[in-house]
Amino acid sequence: MGRSLITGGAGMVGKELARLLLADDEDVTLLDVAPASRLPKDIRDRVTLARGDIANWAQVLDAVKTSHPDTIYHVAAMMPPACEIDHAAGYAVNVVGTFNVLEAARLFDVGAVVYSSTTATFGSELPDVVPNDYVQHPPTMYGTSKVCSEQLGLHYHRQYGMDFRAVRFLSILGPGRVRGSGWSAYTSLMMEETTRGRPFVIPVADSLRLRFIYVKDAALSLVQLARAKADALTTRVYNLDGFSASTEELVNATRKNVPGAQITFEFDPEYQHVMETQYVCIQKQPDDSAARKDWEWHPRYLLDDAIRDLVEDIRGSLE
Ligand SMILES: NC(=O)c1ccc[n+]([C@@H]2O[C@H](COP(=O)([O-])OP(=O)(O)OC[C@H]3O[C@@H](n4cnc5c(N)ncnc54)[C@H](O)[C@@H]3O)[C@@H](O)[C@H]2O)c1
C-alpha cells in the first residue's frame, strides 16, 4: 500500500485523484486550504486532511513530514482570473508553493513529485498541433507561474535527481467548478447549473471551439504517469490531448442529457476577446504522442461520454 500526498486535494482534480488512489488502497493525505466540509462524503472519512497553505513553508514541511508520502501529487494552484487580478498572490501560491513542495520533497526523500501543469504555459501564436517541446511564452500570469513551476521541477530533477514528472492539461470539464475558477469554467458550469434546474447564460459565440479533457481522465493521467516505469520516460513534462467541441456542440450534448435545459446566449465581446487572445492554448491541439507512446496515455472520455458522466455525477451529488 502506497502513501500519497495530494496538494489541492479538495479541488476538482484532487478529489477525483483521491478516489482513484483510495480505490487502490493507498493511504491518502490532502493538503489544502479548504475545510473538511468541502470534501464529498465518499472520501471525507477515508483521507487525512492536512489543512494548510502551500505558500506557507512551515505548513508544507509539516504536512510532508507527517504524511511521509512515497509520491506527492502537486495539484494545488491559484487559477485565473484570480492570479491575473492579484499577481503577488498568484506568484506566492503557484511559484513559491511549488518551490516549497519540491524542497520539502527533497528534504524528506519523497520518491516522486507529479505536477499538474497546463497548456496555458504556451503562447498565443501557436501552430495547429503544438509539439511537446514548443516554446513557452504565456500571455498570462497564470501561464507564467505554471512555466516557472515546470522549470523548478526540471531543475530539481537535474540538480538532485528528483523524480519530477508533469502533465499539461487542457481545459478540464468536471463538477464543482465555480465562476472565477478559470475563464473556460462556463463550459462545466453550463452542465452543473442546468442539471440543478437553473437557467444558464453563455457569454461567448456558439462557434467558439475549445479542447477539453474530462476530469476523470485528468486524474487518471496523473496516476498513470506516477506509475510509469522511469526508463520508459523520454521527457519529464507531457502534453495531453482530450477532445474538441464548439459551444454549440456542448449545448446540444447538454440538452441531450438534461432535457429542458434552459440555456441562452448573451454575447459578451470582452469575454470572447479574452478567450481568443489569451486562451489560444485551449483551441489548438497539443501533440500528446510522447505520452501515448511512453505510458500508453489516451483519453477514455470524449464529448458524449464526458457530458453523460458529468451530468450523472452532478445528479448523484443532489441525492
Ligand atoms: N481546471 C482546469 O481547467 C485546468 C486546466 C489546466 C490545468 N489545470 C491545473 O490542474 C490543477 C487542478 O485544477 P482544479 O481544476 O482541480 O482546480 P481547483 O481550483 O478545483 O482546485 C485547486 C485546489 O487547490 C487548493 N488551493 C488553492 N490555493 C491553495 C494554497 N495556497 N494552499 C493549499 N491549497 C490551495 C484549493 O482550495 C482547491 O481545493 C491546477 O494545478 C491547475 O493549474 C486546471
Length of the chain: 319
54 CB less than 6 Å from ligand 1?
yes
As a whole number of Å, the CA-based R_g of the chain is: 19
Look at residue 145 in the predicted model and tell me its pLDDT.
Answer: 98
Ligand 1 pocket member 254 (CB < 6 A) = no
Q: Whose CA is nearest to atom 43 of ligand 1?
A: 77
Evaluate: CB of 172 within 6 angstroms of ligand 1. yes
* Complete domains list, the chain, with CATH: 3-171+213-239 (3.40.50.720), 173-211+242-283+301-318 (3.90.25.10)
Q: Which amino acid is at 60?
A: V
| Confidence (pLDDT) at 155 | 98
pLDDT at 33: 98
Is 55 near ligand 1, meaning CB less than 6 Å away?
A: yes
Rounded distance from Cα 170 to ligand 1 centre (Å): 13
* Nearest residue to 166 (alpha-carbon basis) of 217, 103, 239, 69: 239
Residue identifier of the C-alpha nearest atom 38 of ligand 1? 11
Q: Whose CA is nearest to atom 32 of ligand 1?
A: 53
Burial of 229 (0-12, 13-18, 19+ CB in 10 A): exposed
Q: Give the up-direction half-sphere exposure of residue 39: CA atoms within 13 A in the CB hemisphere.
A: 27
Q: Is 148 helix (H, G, I), strand (E, B) or coil?
A: helix
| 57 C-alpha to ligand 1 centroid (Å) | 18
Burial of 236 (0-12, 13-18, 19+ CB in 10 A): middle
Contact 226, 69 (CB under 8 A): no
**Ligand 1 near 145 CB (within 6 A):** no
pTM over 0.95: yes
CA distance 23 to 224: 14
Ligand 1 centroid, distance to 74 Cα (angstroms):
9
CB 84 within 8 A of CB 91: no
**Among 202, 285, 215, 278, CA closest to 247:** 202
Residue bearing the CA closest to ligand 1, atom 5: 171
pLDDT in tens, 10-42: 999 999 999 999 999 999 999 999 999 999 999
Q: Look up cell 462545466; give the residue.
A: 188
How far is 279 from 267, CA to CA, in rounded Å? 17
Q: Which of 75, 146, 168, when mutated, tests ligand 1's pocket best, judged by the most ligand atoms within 8 Å of its CB?
A: 75
Query: What is the three-state SS of 31-52?
Result: EECCCHHHCCHHHHCCCEEEEC
pLDDT < 70 stretches in the chain: none
Residue closest via CA to ligand 1's atom 13 equals 13
Residues sharing a CB contact under 8 Å with residue 136, sequence separation 6 or more, in sequence order: 121, 122, 123, 143, 147, 150
9: DSSP letter: T
Whole-number Å distance, alpha carbon 182 to ligand 1 midpoint, is 10
Pairing, β 243-246 against β 209-214: antiparallel
Q: How far is the CA of 116 from the centre of ligand 1 (A)?
A: 9
CA of 260 to the centre of ligand 1 (A): 32
Q: What digits encode the pLDDT tens for the residues 237-285?
A: 999 999 999 999 999 999 999 999 999 999 999 999 989 888 899 999 9
